[in-house]
């Protein structure tokens, strides 16, 4: 994040990684969807119209506050990230263009997309011990099979201890 100088872009990227939001969900966020007391984000325009809550990281909240102080968005529908002249919502293309600029500034040459940040959110939660059903709800998936596709690269077995080793006192 150190290479991203635009507070608006930094807040959007932090929402994709820290809350697992789709780019379309970021475009549709309203100011009132950010709940800093409960540390959660309400996603009302999710895929297939399914509403959900997801988590809000403290780091992301800081980025959102920096963005708010810098830009003071003033959209008639209270969109958090208005687009051109505050008349429209920011577009997914504008967000993806900002991501490409950020990746160039950070000298990252791998193929990274906003969806990659959502994938990383899910994968890192699983690697940290979050159960797959919680991850499913945070991502807004209707089916657990959709969540499993996201998690194919998770390294979950690295710190596992066999129950047999625990019984015999051979655990780590």
30 is catalytic: no
58 is catalytic: no
Q: Are 16 and 26 in contact (CB under 8 A)?
A: yes
- In the chain the first and final C-alpha atoms are separated, in Å, by 35
Q: Annotated catalytic residue: which of 40, 44, 47, 101?
A: 47
150 is catalytic: yes
141 is catalytic: yes
Q: Pick from 143, 10, 129: which is nearest to 66 by CA?
A: 10
Q: Annotated catalytic residue: which of 8, 9, 10, 118?
A: 118
Q: Are 149 and 121 in contact (CB under 8 A)?
A: no
Q: Annotated catalytic residue: which of 22, 67, 119, 136?
A: 22
Q: Are 137 and 50 in contact (CB under 8 A)?
A: no
Q: Annotated catalytic residue: which of 104, 115, 124, 166?
A: 115
115 is catalytic: yes
Residues with catalytic function: 22, 47, 115, 118, 141, 150
């Amino acid at each position: 994040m150190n290479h991203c100088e635009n507070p608006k872009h930094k807040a959007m990227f932090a929402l994709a990684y820290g809350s697992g939001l789709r780019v379309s969900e970021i475009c549709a966020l309203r100011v009132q969807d950010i709940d800093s007391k409960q540390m959660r984000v309400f996603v009302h325009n999710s895929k297939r119209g399914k509403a959900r809550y997801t988590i809000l990281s403290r780091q992301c909240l800081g980025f959102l506050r920096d963005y708010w102080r810098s830009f003071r968005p003033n959209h008639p529908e209270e969109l958090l990230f208005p687009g051109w002249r505050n008349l429209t919502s920011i577009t997914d293309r504008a967000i993806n263009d900002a991501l490409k600029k950020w990746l160039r500034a950070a000298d990252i040459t791998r193929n990274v997309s906003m969806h990659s940040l959502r994938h990383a959110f899910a994968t890192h939660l699983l690697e940290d011990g979050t159960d797959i059903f919680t991850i499913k709800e945070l991502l807004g998936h209707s089916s657990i099979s959709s969540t499993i596709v996201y998690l194919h690269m998770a390294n979950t077995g690295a710190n596992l201890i066999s129950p047999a080793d625990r019984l015999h006192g051979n655990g780590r």
